[in-house]
Amino acid sequence: MRFRVDVAADVDSIPWDQVFSPARGVAYDLIRVQDEALAAELHDHGYAGSSLRPLGLSSPCFRGAGRRTGLYGASGDGTVWFGSPVPRVAAALLAGVAGRTELRWGTIALRVRGVQLEPMPDHSRGWADFSTVTQVLVKFEDRFIHPDHPRYAERLCHNLRHKADVLGLPGDLEIDIVSYGPARKFLVQRAPRHGSTVQLRVHADPVLLDALYEWGLGLNTNQGFGWIR
């Protein structure tokens, strides 16, 4: 399950170091209100014996925000997405946001304007075109790499197969890189993260495609990276 939370910011920009840094705390806070044990398990250990956390979200995405150099524009018309392929996690996220009038995104107040479930696309043909809203993080030899790196597709496939293993789903898959955005650097709690938005064609079992659509692509999806449009 995945859902969108329509929000309004009371400022016209968000500090760059707060674009992604608050995301994980926001997600765990929503889960903790409904299921404290689950929030502690995900935070402290991961899920099902793995260090992976099967949840995804986006950083706030705003429409009509003015573009200014060095600023991440905000407006009264924005969206934050949440999702998880694990029903217990998804239900806790959705219940956690129900009835809230605002989300605290670092020092920024995001007024909640509405919550809406998103329908699952039809993945029965065994392939899907995925385009990400936020940058996908992929690592090779302990450094972040971008889609023009010769090992990028291999390492991203490794990540997606790991996700499949954690969920007990078929892990046979192939990806084709269709296009990608410029490399971007963000600070997450003072640590640099490098990534690019990507458009991919993913060939996989339909159930795995459903799960990736609800979880996201690459590393640190619980920090807001790799969210699929």
pLDDT tens readout for residues 55-86: 999 999 999 877 767 779 999 999 999 999 99
Q: Do 120 and 207 contact (CB within 8 A), yes or no?
A: no
Structural domains of the chain ordered from first start: 2-117 (3.30.70.1890), 127-223 (3.30.70.1900)
Which 3-state string (H, E, C) describes 78-147?
Answer: EEEEEECCCHHHHHHHHHHHCCCCEEEECCEEEEEEEEEECCCCCCCCCEEEEEECCCEEEEECCEEECC
Predicted confidence at residue 70, as pLDDT, reads 72
> pTM higher than 0.85 for the full model?
yes
Percentage of residues in the chain having pLDDT higher than 70: 98
pLDDT tens readout for residues 144-172: 999 999 999 999 999 999 999 999 999 99
pLDDT tens readout for residues 183-227: 999 989 889 999 999 999 999 999 999 999 999 999 999 999 999
Percentage of residues in the chain having pLDDT higher than 90: 92
- Look at residue 1 and tell me whether its pLDDT is greater than 80: yes
